[in-house]
Amino acid sequence: MLKFENQAHVPSFYAATANDRTCYPPLDATVSADVCVIGGGLTGLSTALNLAERGYSVVLLEASKIGWGASGRNGGQLIAGYSCDIDTFSSHMPEEDVQRVWAMGLESVEIVKERVAKHQIDCDLTFGYLTAANKPRHVEALRAWRETAELRFGYRGYRYVERDEMRGIVASDRYLGGLHYAGSGHLHPLNYTLGLARAARDAGVSIHEDTSAHAVGKTAQGHQVTCARGRVDARYVVLACNAYLGRLAPALARKIMPVATYLIATEPLGDLRASETMPTDVAISDCNAALDYFRLTKDRRMLWGGKASCSTRTPRELAAAMRRDMLKTFPQLADAKIDYAWGGFVDATMNRAPHFGRLEPTVYFAQGFSGHGVNVTGLAGRLIAEAIDAQAARFDLFGKIRHRDFPGGRLLRTPMLMLAMTWHRMMDAL
């Protein structure tokens, strides 16, 4: 079980540049609401805000601080769609439903755009994203996917970038080409999360930080969520804990694996050097299984992420190890100081598809975003609110996907997954 190592945001570039220091009081009474949402990250906040806009009374509980987990620590990449291959859905539903799921993957980015505009969230939202090919087989795969998207889904938003054009996007000889999508991009994830919290509070959501949910029980009227110094009585409960679900719902926790990922941010490079390093302000991920991802921040730092691991141990000398990876792509940054280094956990499923559903008719959950949480959490919140409001058709599409427990049980599943990731890294090297 992952633990909350402290109650403050971890030291990071995002925490240092957060633009909202609002503190929400712990719960210290018995309260009632239509819905109790457990988890103060993007999933929980999106759900709470959507429900409040539909007229429901909502209490949101966060064990630490708003955005403390992956929502406030991730790479900030806003990538339309899902982490899994689209044919993952095809094995569980007919083609007409796959088409609907595809459309919702595009909708997930539009939700973020709408929220930022409607609530005037200052989070450095910028559009432009590219998947970079490391090897010839990646080139073939990216070209094939662009063609599939056009022929199967009628989608023409991808543009393949040849190798000789790549240096106009990223000043590196490491990549053989890439697939560009102007409809995806990047943002400051903690400021986006804090902005959603403000919007939820203004819509009437009662938010409580430093309030861990110890148990969810049944009552004649619905559910009782017990905390250290208070209790919430609610008709509905939404579990939005993701990698920090722990013992609250063991059957769900067995279907996700906390995967650590790490980031560094350099000192500000200055406008000229930044533009020489990345001439266009896009976010980039490569095609490796153990991928690298990077972008420039608004103040012109290089933000570099990677080193995904199923181990819960932070690598020794994290900043130096991440810097070595960065210099493989950008040797010209050898003299750039590293100002921040941090990590966090995303929740991955076995098939990398999001896991939405019900534990019982009035207990909903959404988890398993597998690295696409910045956008798919917004979709999850919208769909859960629709379902609670008796419009469950879209939510139930995701319930058709069969999710398996991670093998190995409590003691062996992490070592088994570490071996699997070692194998993937070996394949990346070939």
Residue at 154 is within a domain: yes
Residue at 401 is within a domain: yes
Task: Report the pLDDT value the prediction gives residue 385, as an integer from 0 to 100.
Answer: 98
Task: Report the pLDDT value the prediction gives residue 258, as an integer from 0 to 100.
Answer: 87
CATH number of residue 107's parent domain: 3.50.50.60
Range of the domain at 95: 13-417
Task: Report the pLDDT value the prediction gives residue 246, as an integer from 0 to 100.
Answer: 80
Residue at 50 is within a domain: yes
> Quick check: 354 and 373 in contact, CB under 8 A?
no
Task: Report the pLDDT value the prediction gives residue 289, as an integer from 0 to 100.
Answer: 80
> Quick check: 89 and 97 in contact, CB under 8 A?
yes
Both structure tokens of 121: 């969230």
Residue at 229 is within a domain: yes
Residue at 5 is within a domain: no
Residue at 238 is within a domain: yes
Q: pTM score, two decimals?
A: 0.94
Both structure tokens of 2: 């992952």
CA 185 to chain CA centroid, Å, is 13
Task: Report the pLDDT value the prediction gives residue 153, as an integer from 0 to 100.
Answer: 97
Q: How many domains does the chain divide into?
A: 1
- Please, what are the averages of pLDDT over each run of 10 residues along the chain (430 residues)? 61 97 96 98 98 98 96 97 95 97 98 98 98 97 97 96 95 97 97 98 98 94 95 98 89 90 97 96 93 97 87 78 96 98 92 96 96 96 98 97 81 52 50
Q: Find the DSSP H helices in 188-308.
A: 189-202, 250-253, 271-277
The phi and psi torsions of 196 (rounded to 5 degrees) equal -65, -40
Residue at 2 is within a domain: no
Residue at 260 is within a domain: yes
Q: Which residue has the tokens 């540049």?
A: 17
What is the C-alpha to C-alpha distance for residues 268 and 302, in angstroms, rounded to an integer?
Answer: 8
